[in-house]
């Protein structure tokens, strides 16, 4: 069984190699045609390996921590790897006709491919790193690739959005790095597994935890650090937006999850956890209200991401904080991961579908939706299905996530969070049904179209988020692989 | 077989729906064959199950999604009451819709969502646990919205927005109630009601209110009914579906489940929620009838009539009497048959003579005799004239009210009957006794058969349900069986 053990290394190496090849031999069709199936195969190996043998640990160069660094693939990281592979894989295929290299060569057409592959490699590196400094490096690569993707077409607005993002991201990186340095000074290790065994109630650790959390929250675009997200995600070309909105905030959230639940589970004070929850709740309400007020499709979808990110942070008050796992802990923790994954599928599908609608209409005003059910039924369907997930309605992964979070909120007696979760769903309906209703209007004027095969891809991605809601038992169990036994118990 | 049958029946609606979405607009025959084929197959399976369940068989399928969230499909006598109604009416409505929308636009989308609605309704009926019920209930909301906005004009979009605003908020409230309840008791299955007796009475009351408020939106209880008359802008087959088969019935059915299969009527009385629920139902009955009086349009009149009539079901469930429950349950079927007849006929009047308002209907009986006869039967049934089905419902409800020691129920029914007469009889008078107006004069002849047969069939069924109410397999017989089997103290 040497092959599954190699899966972690391959899932970083393969996209990285593709990124280099895309620079020296820019042939996107060939690269996508080889890389995407190869990565799906690697994912299958990783899933098989984790299911059969538990977490896969690869000590790079044969050096065990704390001397060396480890790549760890447990249930959680593998879930994020698979979600990333499916999302980016689809995005890249959709992007093929939108970023051609051969005909009328443009900078955007050329630069998109290495950046996209680099982003993929960097994301996977984040998900696999078992070491806080390693994570720092990987996250910096994510930021770099994101920055370049936002500014890809070089228009003034995009460059401005990229600059704004750079400011927030830089602050985030500095804060995170400072925190990491403090931790290293205090404990002499940055390995997550080793940190977990140390007592972490000293001042240095707490300050470090605060800095790390603030830095990562800025990168996740948690309210009040959200201001960079809408212009950046709405400004980038649709396939880039799809990756940025669906995956990039999840990377920093993933690290937060690792940090609070694996590295320093006992450091979290009740106030800090409630504060994170409150920021998440504010993001849900505030982001949704702003989304309702948008008149541009891509802006609306981008603000929806601000709101949806808020749900992720409810995991901290609902599952975090006590040394003794409560019966609802596993449900809340898994619920937030379900939310992250199904939102990734749905948001990527939505950006891709909106991108198609915008391509056909030539602009991204609301009227680009007019008559969509008739002109491009598959695109309309993709939008509808992904909207169902974002609203958290059954049957979808979004509903499963919401149900698990709601159950935890009631079981732990934190009814306020339950109210926010439910309110967020209604608000999501308010901003999503506005464009959807227009799809039923008759269309006026002239519209282009998009080939059916292209339209089918976002639909497939959106359906994945529904499948996650129907076939949720296996993913639920899979996610628990490698978690401490006590935390696996769910509410019955 | 016992495990697979619920799934197969669900598939008879889901599979045609999914295929229909992807059919090209001009493949009319494939589309019609699929939808009709699904409906006929489903009817055959349901008839088979009626016989089996009548002999005491219970079907159950269950699989777990995540801890605490299981999909439970369970078919008992109450499920079958609802499923049989929706299956028969689905078949007829499909026939009607094919003729009514003939040559229209966006038909794959329409029939796709139409079948999806039926799938969701069937799922609601088959739900064996509260959360399963919720899954299908929410799916129904989503599947009906595209039908409401089908015409794609500004009024439809507005109606769609109101519809979603009410129903999604209602479901959100319902979900809170469900999760709260399950956080106290664990997953709630209808077959094994949770032990609620030891719980805090105020929590129980609050949860009850949340559940009923959430369900009351679809059941169009007074105050939560606003979406229903607005949704009348949808094409006639959709109105028929909303009013008789799917949406309002899903709400009423849910209320029956909550009162009888979750709380139990005894506990509902104990926490003093029975009387308020009966009072709200009565208020809705009177309110709907009074509003119906002031309508000029035929479809708005029928809409307010629905608001009023659906609450008979709720009233039956709220009263502490077996007879009253029988009356409520049987009205689920009776109201469905009569109301769908009226909507079918309203659609024909519109299609053949351009009748929208009540004063345009003068003398239409001479031009469209069959439709007018069907309409008359439906209307008289609504008023409660024997031997049409509506009479049996009212009789049982009234008797039940007396049994429960609530004689005022009889007064509510009497006033409601007078009001029913007051808004339906003038319409009947205009149809039969006025000189033909411009609409009647310009009306086309009756036909095609596919438009005419469904209302005649449902009117005949409504009449038969009343005439043969004493038979074991009549809706009344079945409702009595349900109550004896499941709810006998």
Q: Which of B138, B183, B186 sits opposite A393 (nearest CB)?
A: B138
- The pLDDT, as a whole number, for residue B1 is 52
Q: Does residue A280 sit in helix, strand or coil? A: helix
Indicate yes or no: CB of A429 within 8 angstroms of CB of B149: no
Asked if B172 has any chain A CB less than 8 Å from its own CB, the reply is: yes
**Which of B17, B69, B199, B233 is most worth mutating to test chain A (most A CB atoms within 10 A of its CB)?**
B69
Q: Which of B311, B301, B210, B227 is nearest to B262 (CA)?
A: B210
ipTM: 0.90
Q: Which of A377, A400, A426 sits opposite B69 (nearest CB)?
A: A400
Asked if A490 has any chain B CB less than 8 Å from its own CB, the reply is: yes
Question: Tens digit of pLDDT for each residue in A81-96?
Answer: 999 999 999 999 999 9
Q: Which of A108, A97, A109 is nearest to A154 (CA)?
A: A108
- Judged against a pLDDT cut of 60, whether residue B173 lies above it is answered with yes
- Judged against a pLDDT cut of 80, whether residue A465 lies above it is answered with yes
Q: Which of B106, B135, B141 sits opposite A373 (nearest CB)?
A: B106
Phi-psi region of A119 (alpha: psi -120 to 50; beta: other; left: phi over 0): alpha
Cite the beta strand spans of A286-416 per DSSP E. Answer: none
Domain chopping of chain A, boundaries: 268-492
Q: Which whole number is the average pLDDT over B231-244? A: 85
Chain B nearest C-alpha distance from A413 (Å): 9
Which distant-in-sequence residues (6+ apart) come within 8 Å of B472 by Cβ? B481
Selected residues 455-474 of chain A with any CB under 8 Å from a CB in chain B: 469-470, 472-473
The per-residue pLDDT of chain B, averaged, comes to 90
In B, minimum Cα distance to A422 occurs at B172
Indicate yes or no: CB of A440 within 8 angstroms of CB of B164: no
Q: Which of A426, A437, A491 sits opposite B169 (nearest CB)?
A: A426
* Exposed / middle / buried, residue B228 (Cβ in 10 Å: 0-12, 13-18, 19+): buried
Tell me how far CA of residue B85 lies from CA of A273, B244, B335, in angstroms: 52, 9, 10
- Give the span between the Cα atoms of B87 and B116, in whole angstroms: 13
- Give the span between the Cα atoms of A133 and B327, in whole angstroms: 71
Question: Tens digit of pLDDT for each residue in B355-369?
Answer: 899 989 998 988 899
Question: Tens digit of pLDDT for each residue in B11-50?
Answer: 999 999 989 888 888 888 889 999 999 999 999 999 998 8
Q: Which of A400, A419, A426 sits opposite B65 (nearest CB)?
A: A400
Chain B nearest C-alpha distance from A277 (Å): 19
Cβ-Cβ contacts under 8 Å, A411 against chain B? 183
Indicate yes or no: CB of A406 within 8 angstroms of CB of B105: no
- Judged against a pLDDT cut of 70, whether residue B468 lies above it is answered with yes
Indicate yes or no: CB of A440 within 8 angstroms of CB of B146: yes
Q: Which whole number is the average pLDDT over B133-154? A: 92
Tell me how far CA of residue A472 lies from CA of A289, A307, B66, B131, B205, in angstroms: 31, 24, 6, 15, 33
Asked if B157 has any chain A CB less than 8 Å from its own CB, the reply is: yes
**Which of B124, B152, B174, B184 is most worth mutating to test chain A (most A CB atoms within 10 A of its CB)?**
B152
Cβ-Cβ contacts under 8 Å, B21 against chain A? 377, 381
Selected residues 124-153 of chain B with any CB under 8 Å from a CB in chain A: 131, 134-135, 138-139, 141-142, 146, 149-150, 152
Asked if B164 has any chain A CB less than 8 Å from its own CB, the reply is: yes
Asked if A397 has any chain B CB less than 8 Å from its own CB, the reply is: no
CA A326 to chain centre: 27
- The pLDDT, as a whole number, for residue B424 is 94
Chain A nearest C-alpha distance from B105 (Å): 9
- The pLDDT, as a whole number, for residue B481 is 87
In A, minimum Cα distance to B21 occurs at A377
The pLDDT confidence band at residue A25, using thresholds 50, 70 and 90, is confident
* Exposed / middle / buried, residue B476 (Cβ in 10 Å: 0-12, 13-18, 19+): buried
Indicate yes or no: CB of A433 within 8 angstroms of CB of B164: yes
In B, minimum Cα distance to A414 occurs at B180
Indicate yes or no: CB of B179 within 8 angstroms of CB of A374: no
Query: Residue B393 in contact with residue B339, Cβ under 8 Å?
Result: no
Q: Which whole number is the average pLDDT over B428-437? A: 91
Q: Which whole number is the average pLDDT over B388-394? A: 90
The pLDDT confidence band at residue A215, using thresholds 50, 70 and 90, is very high
Indicate yes or no: CB of A418 within 8 angstroms of CB of B161: no
Cβ-Cβ contacts under 8 Å, A334 against chain B? 66
Question: Tens digit of pLDDT for each residue in A220-232?
Answer: 999 999 999 999 9
Indicate yes or no: CB of A425 within 8 angstroms of CB of B168: yes
Q: Which whole number is the average pLDDT over A184-203? A: 84
Q: Cα(first)–Cα(last) distance of chain A, in Å?
A: 36
Q: Which of B89, B135, B115 is nearest to B32 (CA)?
A: B115
Q: Which of A381, A442, A491 sits opposite B68 (nearest CB)?
A: A491
- B69 DSSP 8-state letter: E
- The pLDDT, as a whole number, for residue B202 is 92
Indicate yes or no: CB of A472 within 8 angstroms of CB of B65: yes
Indicate yes or no: CB of A403 within 8 angstroms of CB of B179: yes
Question: Tens digit of pLDDT for each residue in A126-137?
Answer: 999 988 999 999
The pLDDT confidence band at residue A299, using thresholds 50, 70 and 90, is very high
Indicate yes or no: CB of A331 within 8 angstroms of CB of B21: no
- Give the span between the Cα atoms of A80 and A137, in whole angstroms: 18
Q: Which of B65, B142, B179 sits opposite A393 (nearest CB)?
A: B142
The per-residue pLDDT of chain A, averaged, comes to 89
- The pLDDT, as a whole number, for residue A492 is 41
Indicate yes or no: CB of B179 within 8 angstroms of CB of A407: yes
In B, minimum Cα distance to A381 occurs at B21
Chain B nearest C-alpha distance from A426 (Å): 6
- The pLDDT, as a whole number, for residue A491 is 47
The pLDDT confidence band at residue A105, using thresholds 50, 70 and 90, is low
- The pLDDT, as a whole number, for residue A486 is 46
Sign of CA dihedral B202, B208, B213, B214: positive
- The pLDDT, as a whole number, for residue A2 is 67
Q: Which of A391, A423, A433 sits opposite B161 (nearest CB)?
A: A433
Asked if A394 has any chain B CB less than 8 Å from its own CB, the reply is: yes
- The pLDDT, as a whole number, for residue A321 is 67
Chain A nearest C-alpha distance from B154 (Å): 8
- Give the span between the Cα atoms of B185 and B16, in whole angstroms: 38
Asked if A270 has any chain B CB less than 8 Å from its own CB, the reply is: no
- Judged against a pLDDT cut of 70, whether residue A101 lies above it is answered with no
- A62 DSSP 8-state letter: G
Tell me how far CA of residue A283 lies from CA of A244, A304, B449, in angstroms: 18, 10, 58
- Give the span between the Cα atoms of A41 and B292, in whole angstroms: 64
- The pLDDT, as a whole number, for residue B294 is 92
Which distant-in-sequence residues (6+ apart) come within 8 Å of B142 by Cβ? A388, A393
Asked if B63 has any chain A CB less than 8 Å from its own CB, the reply is: yes
DSSP string, B228-280: HHHGGGS-HHHHHIIIIISHHHHHHHHHHIIIIIII-HHHHHHTT-HHHHHHH
Indicate yes or no: CB of B176 within 8 angstroms of CB of A419: yes
Percentage of chain B with pLDDT > 70? 99
Asked if B175 has any chain A CB less than 8 Å from its own CB, the reply is: yes
> Within a 10 A sphere around the Cβ of B386, how many other Cβ atoms?
15
Question: Tens digit of pLDDT for each residue in B291-350?
Answer: 999 999 999 999 999 999 999 999 999 998 889 999 999 999 999 999 999 999 999 999
Q: Which whole number is the average pLDDT over B145-151? A: 91
**Which of B179, B180, B184, B227 is most worth mutating to test chain A (most A CB atoms within 10 A of its CB)?**
B179
Q: Cα(first)–Cα(last) distance of chain B, in Å?
A: 32
Indicate yes or no: CB of B67 within 8 angstroms of CB of A395: no
Domain chopping of chain B, boundaries: 273-489
| A116-125, B133-142, B181-190, B237-246: the lowest-pLDDT one | B237-246
Question: Tens digit of pLDDT for each residue in B249-285?
Answer: 999 999 999 998 899 888 998 899 999 999 999 999 9
Question: Tens digit of pLDDT for each residue in A26-79?
Answer: 888 999 999 999 999 999 999 999 988 888 888 777 777 666 777 888 999 999
Indicate yes or no: CB of B21 within 8 angstroms of CB of A440: no
- The pLDDT, as a whole number, for residue B133 is 95
Q: Which of A330, A410, A429 sits opposite B179 (nearest CB)?
A: A410
- Judged against a pLDDT cut of 60, whether residue A489 lies above it is answered with no
Cβ-Cβ contacts under 8 Å, B214 against chain A? none
In B, minimum Cα distance to A412 occurs at B183
């Amino acid at each position: 069984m040497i092959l599954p053990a190699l899966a972690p290394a391959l899932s970083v190496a393969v996209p990285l190699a593709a990124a280099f090849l895309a620079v020296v031999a820019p042939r996107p069709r060939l690269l996508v045609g080889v890389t995407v199936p190869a990565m799906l195969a690697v994912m299958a190996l990783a899933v098989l390996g984790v299911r059969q043998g538990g977490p896969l640990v690869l000590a790079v160069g044969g050096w065990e921590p704390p001397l060396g660094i480890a790549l760890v693939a447990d249930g959680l990281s593998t879930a994020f790897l698979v979600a990333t592979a499916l999302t980016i894989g689809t995005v890249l295929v959709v992007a093929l006709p939108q970023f051609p290299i051969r005909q009328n060569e443009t900078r955007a057409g050329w630069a998109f491919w290495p950046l996209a592959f680099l982003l993929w490699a960097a994301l996977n590196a984040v998900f696999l790193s078992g070491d806080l400094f390693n994570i720092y490096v990987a996250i910096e690569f994510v930021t770099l690739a994101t920055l370049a993707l936002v500014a890809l077409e070089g228009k003034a607005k995009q460059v401005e959005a990229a600059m704004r993002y750079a400011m927030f991201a830089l602050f985030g990186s500095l804060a995170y790095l400072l925190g990491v340095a403090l931790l290293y000074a205090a404990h002499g290790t940055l390995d997550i597994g080793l940190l977990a065994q140390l007592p972490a109630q000293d001042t240095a650790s707490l300050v470090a935890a605060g800095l790390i959390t603030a830095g990562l929250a800025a990168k996740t675009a948690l309210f009040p650090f959200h201001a960079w997200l809408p212009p950046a995600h709405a400004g980038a070309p649709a396939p880039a937006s799809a990756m940025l909105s669906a995956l990039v905030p999840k990377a920093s959230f993933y690290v937060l999850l690792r940090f609070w639940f694996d590295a320093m589970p006992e450091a979290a004070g009740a106030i800090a956890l409630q504060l994170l929850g409150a920021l998440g709740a504010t993001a849900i309400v505030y982001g949704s209200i702003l989304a309702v007020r948008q008149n541009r499709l891509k802006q609306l979808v981008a603000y929806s991401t601000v709101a949806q990110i808020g749900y992720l942070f409810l995991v901290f008050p609902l599952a975090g904080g006590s040394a003794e796992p409560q019966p609802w802990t596993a449900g809340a923790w898994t619920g937030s991961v379900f939310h992250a994954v199904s939102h990734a599928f749905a948001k990527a599908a939505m950006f891709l579908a909106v991108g198609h609608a915008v391509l056909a209409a030539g602009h991204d005003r609301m009227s680009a939706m007019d008559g969509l059910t008739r002109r491009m039924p598959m695109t309309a369907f993709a939008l509808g299905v992904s909207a169902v997930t974002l609203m958290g309605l059954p049957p979808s992964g979004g509903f499963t996530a919401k149900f698990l979070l709601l159950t935890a909120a009631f079981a732990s007696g934190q009814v306020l969070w339950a109210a926010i979760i439910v309110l967020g769903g209604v608000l999501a309906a308010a901003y999503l049904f506005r464009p959807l209703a227009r799809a039923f209007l008759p269309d006026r004027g002239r519209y282009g179209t998009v080939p059916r095969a292209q339209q089918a891809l976002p639909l497939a991605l959106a359906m994945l988020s529904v499948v996650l809601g129907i076939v949720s038992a296996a993913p639920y169990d899979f996610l628990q692989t490698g978690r401490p036994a006590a935390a696996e118990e769910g509410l019955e | 077989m016992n495990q697979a049958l619920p799934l197969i029946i669900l598939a008879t609606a889901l599979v045609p729906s999914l295929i229909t979405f992807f059919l090209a607009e001009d493949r009319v025959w494939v589309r019609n064959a699929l939808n009709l084929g699904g409906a006929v197959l489903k009817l055959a399976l349901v008839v088979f199950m009626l016989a089996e369940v009548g002999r005491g068989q219970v079907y159950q399928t269950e699989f777990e999604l995540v801890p605490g969230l299981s999909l439970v499909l369970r078919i008992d006598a109450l499920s079958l009451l609802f499923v049989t109604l929706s299956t028969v009416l689905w078949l007829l409505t499909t026939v009607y819709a094919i003729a009514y929308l003939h040559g229209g636009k966006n038909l794959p989308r329409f029939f796709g969502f139409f079948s999806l609605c039926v799938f969701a309704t069937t799922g609601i009926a088959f739900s064996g646990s509260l959360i399963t019920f919720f899954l299908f209930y929410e799916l129904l909301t989503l599947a009906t919205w595209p039908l409401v906005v089908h015409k794609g004009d500004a009024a439809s979009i507005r109606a769609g927005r109101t519809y979603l605003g009410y129903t999604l908020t209602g479901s959100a409230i319902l979900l809170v109630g469900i999760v709260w309840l399950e956080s106290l008791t664990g997953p709630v299955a209808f077959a094994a009601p949770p032990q609620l007796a030891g719980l805090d009475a105020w929590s129980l009351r609050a949860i009850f209110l949340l559940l009923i408020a959430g369900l009351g939106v679809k059941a169009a209880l007074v105050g939560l009914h606003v979406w229903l008359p607005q949704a009348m802008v949808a094409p006639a087959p959709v109105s028929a579906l909303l009013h008789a088969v799917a949406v309002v019935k899903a709400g009423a059915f849910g209320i029956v489940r909550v009162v009888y299969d979750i709380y139990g009527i005894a506990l509902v009385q104990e926490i003093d929620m029975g009387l308020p629920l009966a009072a709200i139902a009565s208020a809705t009955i009177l309110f709907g009838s009074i509003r119906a009086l002031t309508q000029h349009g035929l479809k708005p009149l029928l809409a307010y009539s629905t608001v009023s009539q659906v609450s008979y079901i709720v009233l039956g469930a709220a009263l502490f009497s077996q007879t009253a429950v029988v009356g409520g349950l049987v009205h689920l079927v009776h109201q469905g048959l009569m109301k769908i007849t009226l909507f079918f006929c309203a659609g024909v009047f519109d299609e053949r003579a351009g009748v929208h308002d009540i004063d345009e209907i003068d003398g239409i009986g001479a031009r469209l005799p069959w439709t007018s006869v069907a309409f008359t039967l439906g209307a008289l049934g609504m008023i409660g004239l024997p031997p049409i089905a509506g009479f049996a419902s009212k009789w049982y409800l009234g008797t039940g009210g007396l049994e429960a020691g609530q004689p005022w129920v009889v007064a509510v029914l009497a006033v409601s009957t007078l009001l029913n007469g007051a808004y339906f009889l003038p319409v009947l008078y205009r149809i039969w006794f006025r000189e033909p107006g411009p609409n009647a004069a310009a009306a086309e002849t009756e036909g095609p058969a596919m438009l005419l047969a469904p209302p005649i069939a449902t009117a005949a069924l409504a009449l038969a349900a009343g005439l043969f109410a004493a038979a074991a397999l009549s809706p009344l017989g079945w409702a009595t069986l349900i109550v004896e089997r499941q709810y006998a103290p």
